[in-house]
Amino acid sequence: MGRPLKKKLFGANANNNLKVQFHNGTSSVAGYIVEQLGTKKFKCKDADGNTSICRLVTKASALLGSGEMSITVKYDDNTVRQVYKIAAHRISVNPISTGTTTVGMATAGWTFSTSTTDTLWQIEEAGTDTTVTGDIDLEGDDGPTLPFGMDRNAPIPGSGSLFTTATSGIVAYTLKGTAYNPGGGIASVTNSTSGLYRKKYVGDAFTAAGNTSTWNMTFFSTATYISTADHEVDTFVSFGQRDDLPYEDHYSFEWKGYIYADTTATYNTAITCDDDVVMWVGTAALAPAKTNAHHAQAYINQNQVGYNPNSLSLTGGLYYPVRIWFGEFGGSERFQLFMNRSAGAQTILGGTGTSAITFAHNSITQGYNP
């Protein structure tokens, strides 16, 4: 492959140090290399001084596991990839797949330059600030500047109160509206991982509180997400009433993935929220629009749930696409998703406990199958 990396590229300094993303034993964080231990093995350190010995892999930041690290690069045509191998003068990037064809390792020289005509891969620079962020953020993992006091992950999935109060109102099954088949069911999920993939964004997906008709259909395709990897996989798909988050205002969540029914039945959905939630199920989740949402729920009050006017006919053994948008303007926040079915009168709370509905997502695409 070539010569080892030069030591001047290691550590936190002002002279072109390599920015890496690595798992520090708790979560995926930004950092830099302090020592090279092999062709694909490095000792990394984060801004808080945590170190870990990691193996270089070709994964996005949010997907890194224990003992793994990644280096992100961008080519002249704005193609962004992760590094497979790196040496003093050349790198190889992860394979580029097109349908059933895989283009092999693309190997070329690398640089810190932002030039788009030098036929070199640009590498992220770690910078000298305390958050280990440079002027260039190729993968988007640095995220925007957070409003004062806001947390990248709060409210934490599964947290909060009043789960019992809301659950008690929908234990008994009664058919709600006209049952319909949402379509889009598939037999399996590629790279299946439990839970939905949740991302948090600064800004309002809705332009008015308590009014779901005001949602912005382009918000999540243009906004930059701010959540970190440790809470982007959400197996709860719910959080109870939170009155203790005074700085969590003007943010939005998006969940993507699949719901799985273990038996063929008719299912109701119910939501309690503060402020607004919109949910798509089936084929509509893959091409969401204002006219095809399954359930749009605005704030009622803290102890009531809103039923969808129509039930879902789901076939046992199939996975159905689901997409959920949540918006919080100010004050308290809450989102709880409930489902119950015609067989067994079983109330299901966001995939927790014994449940006829479970959630899954494609961990590589961070949502749906290609």
Does the pLDDT value for residue 98 go beyond 80?
no
Does the pLDDT value for residue 63 go beyond 90?
no
Does the pLDDT value for residue 97 go beyond 50?
no
C-alpha–C-alpha distance, residues 107 and 240, integer Å:
49
Give the per-residue pLDDT at 254: 97
If one counts every other C-beta atom within 10 angstroms of the C-beta of residue 296, the result is: 19
Query: Which residues, including other chains, have CB under 8 Å from residue 19's CB and lie 6 or more apart?
Result: 30, 31, 32, 71, 72, 123, 124, 125, 126, 127, 132, 133, 134
Give the per-residue pLDDT at 272: 85
Query: Comparing 95 with 249, which gets the higher pLDDT?
Result: 249
- Among 231, 240, 270, 249, smallest CA distance to 348 is for 270
Sign of CA dihedral 137, 143, 147, 150: negative
Beta partners for 101? Answer: 98
Quick one: residue 367, left, alpha or beta (phi over 0 = left, psi -120 to 50 = alpha)? left
Give the per-residue pLDDT at 192: 94
Long-range contacts of 202-205 (CB under 8 A, 24+ apart): 202/144, 202/146, 202/147, 202/150, 202/226, 202/250, 202/251, 203/250, 203/251, 203/252, 204/250, 204/252, 204/327, 204/329, 205/252, 205/254, 205/276, 205/325, 205/326, 205/327
Quick one: residue 11, left, alpha or beta (phi over 0 = left, psi -120 to 50 = alpha)? left
Confidence at 1, pLDDT banded by 50, 70, 90: low
Query: Comparing 172 with 143, which gets the higher pLDDT?
Result: 143
Give me the numbers of helices (H) and strands (E) for the chain, helices first please: 3, 26
Residues 312-330 pLDDT 10s? 999 999 999 999 999 999 9
Q: Give the mean model confidence (pLDDT) for residues 157-184.
A: 71
Q: Give the mean model confidence (pLDDT) for residues 274-285.
A: 95
Quick one: residue 49, left, alpha or beta (phi over 0 = left, psi -120 to 50 = alpha)? left
Strand 68-70 and strand 51-56: the pairing is parallel
Query: Comparing 13 with 77, which gets the higher pLDDT?
Result: 77
Match 């948090």 to its residue by tokens: 200
C-alpha–C-alpha distance, residues 255 and 324, integer Å:
5
Residues 333-356 pLDDT 10s? 999 888 877 655 555 555 444 455
The backbone torsions φ and ψ at residue 200, rounded to the nearest 5 degrees and listed phi first, read: -110, 140
Query: Which residues, including other chains, have CB under 8 Å from residue 198's CB and lie 6 or more apart?
Result: 157, 227, 231, 232, 233, 234, 237, 253, 254, 255
Does the pLDDT value for residue 142 go beyond 80?
no
C-alpha–C-alpha distance, residues 57 and 299, integer Å:
44
Confidence at 99, pLDDT banded by 50, 70, 90: very low
C-beta separation of 273 from 299 below 8 A: yes
Residues 234-254 pLDDT 10s? 988 889 889 999 999 999 999
- Among 344, 332, 263, 254, smallest CA distance to 299 is for 332
Query: Which residues, including other chains, have CB under 8 Å from residue 192's CB and lie 6 or more apart?
Result: 360, 361, 362, 363
Q: Give the mean model confidence (pLDDT) for residues 129-158.
A: 79
Give the per-residue pLDDT at 283: 98
Q: What tokens appear for 30 in the block? A: 């930004």
Mean pLDDT lowest among 155-159, 195-199, 205-209, 222-226: 222-226
Domains and CATH numbers, the chain: 7-123 (no CATH), 163-362 (2.60.120.1560)
Q: What tokens appear for 339 in the block? A: 């489902």
The backbone torsions φ and ψ at residue 63, rounded to the nearest 5 degrees and listed phi first, read: -100, 0
Does the pLDDT value for residue 168 go beyond 50?
no
Does the pLDDT value for residue 158 go beyond 80?
yes
Query: Comparing 43 with 302, which gets the higher pLDDT?
Result: 43
Query: How far is the CA of 58 from the CAs of 40, 93, 99, 220, 294, in angstroms?
Result: 11, 8, 19, 25, 37
Give the per-residue pLDDT at 101: 45
Give the per-residue pLDDT at 152: 86
Give the per-residue pLDDT at 348: 56
Mean pLDDT lowest among 95-109, 149-163, 286-300: 95-109
